[in-house]
Structure 1
């Protein structure tokens, strides 16, 4: 019976091509607008590391004092004194400080220009903490951190450019005039949003291609390429003065597998800040925060407000399209009251009428979904005209989005057909036979 009702629905659609086209266009345009907005929203609001989102925590310690804080919140980053102290005590199963650095690959051929790539300085624990996959080799060791060894891990794209994709582990590359030995090549890794550092270069930056030990970066006096905030204007001159100042420029992450571990580490931070107050470094009570990945992203407001607004507006537009579709279906179905009356008189039940007309609505939704797919493709391609290019590049049309577009279109059409179908099923057969 399903095939029979579907065939009846298609015949009915062909009898009123203009009305059918209006409904298909309304659903297609409404669904395309909402799915285009959703394609952006899903990538900026997704969980970038779902397997460990509840185990990785960003550390905040108030080294500014209440007079410099915003609504009682400590700075999002740490100064070098606190970051180094946490790294040396190493109370977590894994932990790392990190910051973006300015590194250029100097080609052996002097005629070629230096290659500037997104680069970070961090500790060896970061590779396992952040589940960074390797194509060749591995990360450096803890002893490399301690010895400030000139080692580097490079990204897959940079490996393709420099070594044509072959295993380059053990090769030497020139970074800012210094030779570094490659210990590993990471596979494609580009978590979006960039949860571990949404502050310095934004949550939607380009994939990172160079990683070096933070101890080496500090030893080479590589200044941060990201954010630096200082509570006082006078912080002395020179690199050593900067390291010992209260300027915050480092993010610190810890891996704590259980709730009990997080509770213990939070108490350690509380005790550490209390000790800094006791020795006179802090003149205020301890003010520390420990946020997991989800809480951290919410705290940093990484979802651009325009993406949420565009999603709400597009959903409102889809609702308007559905209201119009309801009106068109109501007019279409009620015009077929004589047909319904005859079918009811011949023994068709109301359930049969419901099945036939809802399938007809589903057929309209399917046609609208196909149109919506085409318009969604155009919408995703032109997202860069509305959103920031770094956000627009993340939106893609994949199988999941295509299936969602078709599903939403069919569901929307069936919902729009509910009230017209209910009205059509209430037609009285005797009255229709008498008057027609």
Structure 2
């Protein structure tokens, strides 16, 4: 039955849903999502001061899955595909003519999206990734050894989880190793602009306008860098993904400069931050649960399950937005054409209707149809690469580490979009 009046979130709950610091606290936020799934699974979020456009918050797994798979009814492009204030959206439109500072695969709808996705899709399929598996394994062994040499107390994020996927995606893109620190800094400013530690900018003293300028500056820096890479790969193409993008044509025409830059940026940025967060999440879970660590170490057939559970439990990409292309009913609420919706993957991946004891980390969980990679046409292009890296890393860790425990309090980043641990202090015993 359709509700006659929309369920509108109370102001304090609405503020919690969009506050970056809520995603750093985590457990209280999961409490809120548990309550909302039971009482207001499809709820209108309205800003008291009109600072952002009203949107529908979707928290149940089944509803998030339904919307994700229906790319005709729920579009990516008409409005921002990531939550943004009115000011941020207006800033992006003034700077770029688009709703987003970066136009990439996650922004486009059909018919453009499938044509762009097809350009690099084969590169990220398992059969092709096998060609670089040896290099990824050598990197994992190197980083684990460096962690052991630095131990027994280390920050796992700094020593392993951050550098490994960064190096892998940069090698795939053909980026020189000496430029990796620059890529990490720009990614953190773009995705971590809400977190003062990650943006490295004294952001806590900035106005919202200055934060926008910081993120915009990172995007411009990315664009300038990749314009140089594209020019080089057109002149001297190689077998890396950068060459594929630089020389790609769609409908007989080369990619527009802005779309090409967006393609590079989404791969360079989203290709490592999310995997890093997931690696750290898995390590945190095992550090808290010595019995599960020992179980996985003794039975490596649990590793694929550990990988999937780490992806679900961490949920590095915390939401995406969609825009309704027509009137539709969801969860008893009438969604109007043009309405904005937040698919909250954190809430969906902790829905007890889909995941028994959803807050527990269970490497043997089966089935585990999580939403961390999305679903449908926009399912994450790099999901096979992420799984491969996480599996290889934990193979190396379990071969070399006898035990692990927390050596301090882990700290999550403050971010509504891409989140995860920014520090994970560990104490370990090596073999």
TM over 0.5: no
Point out the structure with max Rg over C-alpha.
Answer: 1
TM-score, normalization: structure 1? 0.24
